[in-house]
Amino acid sequence: MSRAYARTWLALLPALAIVAVVFGTSVLYGVSQSLGWLPFLGQREISLDAYRTVMFGADHRREFWTALAFSLWVSAAATLLAALLALLLTLALGPQMRANRRVLTILNLNLAFPHLVWAIGLLLLLAQSGVLARIAAALGWIERPADFPVLVRDRAGLGVIIAYVTKEVPFLVLILVAILRAQAESYTAVAQTLGANRWQRLRYVTLPLVLPGLLAGSLLVFAFIFGAYEVPALLGVRYPKMLAVLALDFFLNADLRARAEGMALSVLMALVVLLVALLASRLRRQAVRP
């Protein structure tokens, strides 16, 4: 092994060590405790009890399957809507605005806005006595706050979906703009010279170019929403809960044995997220290749 080669690895070592040690121990501890290895409670037997209790036990199975279905519903609905809106907004921007630095700055600023504050803003905007309800009352559409539809802290997850759709549209638009600026504008020009009309250019040039990237980005968004905590904790209800909220509830339970169940939940959730995210990164690599 040459010296240069050894130095390269040495330069990588601190970063890899931090990620491997901190993240690695997290995975190791999480998985082993979900399997019932809780030495501080005197429990040293490996079993799938926690998984069984959470998924099939009479006390928790309804809560678990509801949370799983609810997480899937919220993540899928928010992702689909965000992807559709992002595509429409990107197309509406047109080549000139897509290259406009101020447009990109606004989108980036949106991205930098913390989810926590975004959720609080929506809470104040959409609550039954919030800003929109006041406007509706001023217009004479409603009389009492109760007449205003329940848009946040609702059982269908509307508030959480609205929060994620509005928050992830800029993320997806930036991905689409990057793809279009890198390749599509010149292809579009060629197609135009060859006599393709607007619809043909969209159908045969632009869409095939952006769809793989949009799909990859959407899967990342799905994975992120599926495992997120703050927004559903603030804009959600006690029942149904999303998986991340349920997992943390179990973990913080005064009964220490519930910890193993909380870990089991978080391992299951992380597995779903990882699968989706790996699929996304695979698709993205294919999308980047011409």
Q: Would you count residue 12 as binding another protein (CB under 8 A)?
A: yes
Q: Which of residues 209-238 bind another protein (CB under 8 A)?
A: 217, 220-221, 223-224, 226-230, 233-234
Q: Compare residues 125 and 156 and give the one whose CB is closer to another protein.
A: 125
Q: Would you count residue 50 as binding another protein (CB under 8 A)?
A: no
Q: Compare residues 151 and 244 and give the one whose CB is closer to another protein.
A: 244
Q: Which of residues 250-279 bind another protein (CB under 8 A)?
A: 251, 262-263, 266-267, 269-270, 273-274, 277
CB of 251 to another protein, least distance (A): 5
Q: What is the DSSP string of 136-185?
A: HHHTTS-SSGGGS---SS-TT-HHHHHHHHHHHHHHHHHHHHHHIIIIIH
CB of 232 to another protein, least distance (A): 11
Q: Which of residues 118-137 bind another protein (CB under 8 A)?
A: 118, 120-125, 129, 131, 133-135, 137
CA distances from 119 to 12, 15, 91, 97, 125 (A): 38, 33, 28, 29, 10
Calculate ∠ Cα 196-201-203, nearest 5°: 125
Task: State the CB neighbour count (10 A cutoff) for residue 160.
Answer: 31
- Residue in this structure with the two tokens 């973990």, named with its chain if needed: 251
Q: Would you count residue 154 as binding another protein (CB under 8 A)?
A: no
CB of 222 to another protein, least distance (A): 11
